[in-house]
Amino acid sequence: MKKILAAVLIVFFCSSLSFADDAIFKKIDKNRDGKISKKEYMEGVNKTFKSYDKNSSKSVTREELKTTVNVDVENTMTEADSDKDGTITQEEFVKSAEKRFKFFDKNNDGYIDKKEWDAELKRGNPNNPKASPIAPFFSISF
């Protein structure tokens, strides 16, 4: 009986996870053509930056990240704070987001399609940063 319950829970957990990923993809894909253009992506990135930047200082500190839900603080700092001064400026954030876009866009056509998106999310292993030089921008609420 316990085994069955555990199996049901695992199935439920997995399906709710992929549902959440789909929801984020659809949110970013504003014109609903099934792929995320660079423009759509960067709009999402800018919104995300604003949601992190609680006091609108045009930079995001570790403390601000800590008060943001669903953000991996250390991964975000490692990825985006390129001059390692402890804050992420808007410029740093945009630059690292552009890098990430390139990383997602495997066939280099300027769009992230659903296949590319899913492939990267599956590889997104926080214990293996080399597999996925990221984590933050899809755990967001734009």
Residues in the site for Ca ion, rule: CB under 5 A? 29, 31, 33, 81, 83, 85, 105, 107, 109, 111
Return the DSSP state at 131.
T
Whole-number minimum distance, CB 60 to Ca ion, in Å? 9
Q: Give, in order, the Cα–Cα distances in Å from 122 to each of 87, 104, 115, 116, 119.
A: 29, 12, 11, 10, 5
Whole-number minimum distance, CB 112 to Ca ion, in Å? 6
What tokens does 64 get?
């601000």
Residue with smaller CB distance to Ca ion, 15 or 107: 107
Residue with smaller CB distance to Ca ion, 88 or 135: 88
Residue 93 in contact with residue 61, Cβ under 8 Å?
A: no
Residue with smaller CB distance to Ca ion, 53 or 105: 105
Whole-number minimum distance, CB 92 to Ca ion, in Å? 5
Residue with smaller CB distance to Ca ion, 14 or 39: 39
Whole-number minimum distance, CB 19 to Ca ion, in Å? 20
